[in-house]
Amino acid sequence: RKEVEQDPGPFNVPEGATVAFNCTYSNSASQSFFWYRQDCRKEPKLLMSVYSSGNEDGRFTAQLNRASQYISLLIRDSKLSDSATYLCVVNWGYGGATNKLIFGTGTLLAVQP
């Protein structure tokens, strides 16, 4: 099983649509979870952290299910500017000084006009 697994897509959706991405992780000891956004030929940028209780930031909602080792990202009212690759990211092990993050290969979102 891959350490972090995502559907690669692409997800082609019209403007205004709601789209959901899922991610599973294999290490039950992981403590921190994130979604990053990566535009074509650019560096990844932190979109949001994922908290156990679920969290929302504007049109974006992240959910964590520790029992199923599953993370999700919901985007409402999609904009053309949301087109990017979304990376699911999980910290590895028990934290501490090394703070290694494992990145999924990403899900490509293309929002169509």
Partner 1 sequence: SQTIHQWPATLVQPVGSPLSLECTVEGTSNPNLYWYRQAAGRGLQLLFYSVGIGQISSEVPQNLSASRPQDRQFILSSKKLLLSDSGFYLCAWTARDRVSYEQYFGPGTRLTVT
**Contacts to partner 1 by CB under 8 A:** 31-32, 34, 41-46, 49, 87, 91, 95, 97-101, 103-106
- Closer by beta carbon to partner 1, 19 or else 50: 50
Is the distance from CB of 87 to CB of 37 less than 8 angstroms?
Answer: yes
At closest approach, how far in Å is the CB of 38 from partner 1? 9
- Closer by beta carbon to partner 1, 59 or else 100: 100
At closest approach, how far in Å is the CB of 75 from partner 1? 20
Q: Is 6 helix (H, G, I), strand (E, B) or coil?
A: strand
Is the distance from CB of 26 to CB of 73 less than 8 angstroms?
Answer: no
What is the 3-state composition of the chain as percent helix, strand, coil, each rounded to the nearest 5?
A: 5, 50, 45
- Closer by beta carbon to partner 1, 26 or else 99: 99
- Alpha carbons 25 and 20: distance in angstroms, whole number: 17
At closest approach, how far in Å is the CB of 90 from partner 1? 10
